[in-house]
A and B are shown apart, each in its own frame.
Chain A
Amino acid sequence: MVDGAFIIEKSVVIVVVFAVTMIMAMYSTWAERKVAAFLQDRVGPNRAGWGGLLQPLADGLKLFSKEEFFPNTPNKFLFVVGPAIAMSTALMTSAVIPWGDRLHLFGRDILLQATDINIGLLYFFGVVSVGVYGIMIGGWASNNKFSLMGAVRAASQMVSYEVAMGLSMIALLMMTGTLSLKEISEQQAEWHWNILYQPLSFLIFLICAFAETNRTPFDLAECESELIGGYHTEYSSMKMGFYLFAEYANMFISATIISVLFFGGYNYPGMQWMVENVGVNTANLLGIGVLFVKICFFIFFYMWVRWTIPRFRYDQLMHLGWRILIPLSIANIIVTGIVILRHDIAVYFGF
């Protein structure tokens, strides 16, 4: 039953989610510079607006007005497609994330989610792994050996860490029994957060999330000191801006996924009490606020780690991915399975 009100409701949710993702990505660039500065005993941007708050706008304006440079590449089409893929995959993932439970407005329940598909997590993984094509195609089409090297590194890193990421998720999924992010959020009501049940899975997921977003210590794809700029060496103007923007959008999305999967999403202790005594809308607006506090903490954590740990060497990266994280996540799956089936196992052995 698709009616007009439903379409309007979903359109509003989608536009708001889109806008929020953009704004968060924009202000992540500001926060990154601010956090980096503070961690290095500096002050950071503080000229454009109060505390430098207009800095992202100024940066965007600058990138728009820059010269659109094309390298001498045989494939101009792919050169443009690269940043387009990076940007669209970064924005697509926000569709399945439950930003809150529900609001009761105009006599109808509004789900605070663009769409609640029952394979939400799988969709997330799928879209994120398409994201590597943006880097790969961009690096390849640049016709530059540094770009290509960065792209190859990014691809191999993504492939390696996606395995560990997926396996660490399986342990969690065995517990939740669903791929829908909304149901996973609902299961973590009050303080039953998954981090308390699956700390190892969280650790592996966190490390892999750093690798997937190409952030330090896994930023081999664009390490300035070795590869100039890696895959975006040849890019200028807004195409460059798209790559940078996509990185921050990805960071925002993966911080959100971590919060939703392991830190209860929009849940906070006492939410049920708030719904019953104060009202649905207040309780859920507070829930959205709580989710954003969690997200902001993880975005801060990304930046915090960036200025703490130096970059991995390539062999260390592969060693960590294949020989430590994958066996560890498989062991985690086995232990989780034993714990879930402990009664059946006890019965089998005749206790």
Chain B
Amino acid sequence: MSIETISLSGRKKLVSNKEMTFLERLYLVAIVKGLFITIKHFFKKKATIHYPEQVREMSPVYRGQHMLKRDEQGRENCTACGLCALSCPAEAITMKAAERTADEKHLYREEKYASIYEINMLRCIFCGLCEEACPKDAIYLTTSKVLVPSSYEREDFIFGKDRLVMPLEMALKNTQLNNAN
């Protein structure tokens, strides 16, 4: 088999350089054919997703805005160990630890917790390394299913605990679902 005839994809087409016939040189037949191709697209189903009304379904592993998880009793998982901040290649995470007092046992799972936890969303590259580094299953990028919204001020992109921690209702709902199963 010579090299000219090998076709690995099976779709190889030999280009012919033959003289066009009179009918072909008129181009009218080709134009009519083209018109039929375009009109077929006129009636095709449109690929557009009408964004604010319809939202594209996200993949289960899509990494969106971070969420600090609560456990089944609604307590925050995070113990402010700082491994996420350490692993972050973009230096986007910062936090301040505090000791749990006796009357805060229903709020935090561990004895130490993060009193301040901030992620700079302009620095974050959504790589998910914080999620991998976390020993307490506290931070996840895949559960929130939201994109970080746009804003006018740089300060507005530093997300504190008020925007990161999982809502309490969501935690309770998860518990209910787990119990039902």
Q: Which residues of A contact B (CB under 8 A)?
A: 35, 38-43, 46, 304-305, 307-309
Interface stretch of the complex, out of B38-46, B55-63, B72-80, B126-134: B38-46
Per the bound structure, the CA–CA distance linking A41 and B37 in Å amounts to: 12
A304 close to B46 (CB less than 8 A):
no
A41 close to B44 (CB less than 8 A):
yes
Chain B residues with CB below 8 A from A309, complex form:
31, 34
Q: How far is the CB of B28 from chain A (nearest CB, A)?
A: 8
B5 at the interface (CB under 8 A from A): no
Per the bound structure, the CA–CA distance linking A307 and B44 in Å amounts to: 15
Q: How far is the CB of B52 from chain A (nearest CB, A)?
A: 10
- Which of B34, B38, B41, B44 has most A Cβ within 10 Å? B38
Chain A residues with CB below 8 A from B46, complex form:
38, 41-43
Interface of B, helix, strand, loop or mixed by DSSP: helix
Q: How far is the CB of A96 from chain B (nearest CB, A)?
A: 31
Chain B residues with CB below 8 A from A43, complex form:
46, 48, 50
Known: A304-B39, A308-B38. A41 touches B31 (CB 8 A): no
Chain A residues with CB below 8 A from B45, complex form:
41
Per the bound structure, the CA–CA distance linking A250 and B46 in Å amounts to: 31
B47 at the interface (CB under 8 A from A): yes
Chain B residues with CB below 8 A from A304, complex form:
35, 38-39
Instruction: Give 29 pairs: A residue, B residue, CB < 8 Å, sorted on A.
Output: A35-B42, A38-B41, A38-B42, A38-B46, A39-B38, A39-B39, A39-B41, A39-B42, A40-B41, A41-B45, A41-B46, A41-B47, A42-B47, A42-B48, A43-B46, A43-B48, A43-B50, A304-B35, A304-B38, A304-B39, A305-B35, A307-B38, A308-B31, A308-B34, A308-B35, A308-B37, A308-B38, A309-B31, A309-B34
Chain B 132-175 per-residue mask, 1 if CB under 8 angstroms from chain A, else 0: 00000000000000000000000000000000000000000000
Per the bound structure, the CA–CA distance linking A38 and B47 in Å amounts to: 10
Chain A residues with CB below 8 A from B34, complex form:
308-309
Chain B residues with CB below 8 A from A307, complex form:
38
Per the bound structure, the CA–CA distance linking A46 and B49 in Å amounts to: 12
Q: A203's closest neighbor in chain B, by CB?
A: B28
Q: How far is the CB of B105 from chain A (nearest CB, A)?
A: 52
A41 close to B38 (CB less than 8 A):
no
Q: Which residues of B contact A (CB under 8 A)?
A: 31, 34-35, 37-39, 41-42, 44-48, 50
Q: How far is the CB of B34 from chain A (nearest CB, A)?
A: 5
Chain B residues with CB below 8 A from A46, complex form:
50
Chain A residues with CB below 8 A from B37, complex form:
308
- Which of B37, B45, B46, B50 has most A Cβ within 10 Å? B46
Q: How far is the CB of A77 from chain B (nearest CB, A)?
A: 43
Per the bound structure, the CA–CA distance linking A43 and B48 in Å amounts to: 7
Chain B residues with CB below 8 A from A41, complex form:
41, 44-47
Chain A residues with CB below 8 A from B48, complex form:
42-43
Q: How far is the CB of A30 from chain B (nearest CB, A)?
A: 16
Q: How far is the CB of B7 from chain A (nearest CB, A)?
A: 29
Q: A35's closest neighbor in chain B, by CB?
A: B42
Q: How far is the CB of B47 from chain A (nearest CB, A)?
A: 5
Q: How far is the CB of B51 from chain A (nearest CB, A)?
A: 11
Chain B residues with CB below 8 A from A35, complex form:
42
Per the bound structure, the CA–CA distance linking A307 and B31 in Å amounts to: 11
- Which of A41, A46, A305 has most B Cβ within 10 Å? A41
Per the bound structure, the CA–CA distance linking A308 and B42 in Å amounts to: 12
Q: A39-B38, A42-B48 are in contact. List 17 more A-B contacts (CB 8 A).
A: A35-B42, A38-B42, A39-B39, A39-B41, A39-B42, A40-B41, A41-B45, A41-B47, A42-B47, A43-B46, A43-B48, A43-B50, A46-B50, A305-B35, A308-B31, A308-B38, A309-B31
Q: How far is the CB of A320 from chain B (nearest CB, A)?
A: 10
Q: B40's closest neighbor in chain A, by CB?
A: A39
Per the bound structure, the CA–CA distance linking A41 and B38 in Å amounts to: 10
Per the bound structure, the CA–CA distance linking A255 and B166 in Å amounts to: 62
Q: B42's closest neighbor in chain A, by CB?
A: A38
Per the bound structure, the CA–CA distance linking A42 and B41 in Å amounts to: 10
Q: How far is the CB of B35 from chain A (nearest CB, A)?
A: 5
Per the bound structure, the CA–CA distance linking A308 and B40 in Å amounts to: 12
Per the bound structure, the CA–CA distance linking A294 and B70 in Å amounts to: 67
Chain A residues with CB below 8 A from B41, complex form:
38-41
Per the bound structure, the CA–CA distance linking A309 and B33 in Å amounts to: 11
Q: How far is the CB of A1 from chain B (nearest CB, A)?
A: 51
Per the bound structure, the CA–CA distance linking A43 and B53 in Å amounts to: 14
Per the bound structure, the CA–CA distance linking A155 and B37 in Å amounts to: 33
Chain A residues with CB below 8 A from B42, complex form:
35, 38-39
Q: How far is the CB of B123 from chain A (nearest CB, A)?
A: 34
Q: How far is the CB of B9 from chain A (nearest CB, A)?
A: 26
Per the bound structure, the CA–CA distance linking A66 and B37 in Å amounts to: 39
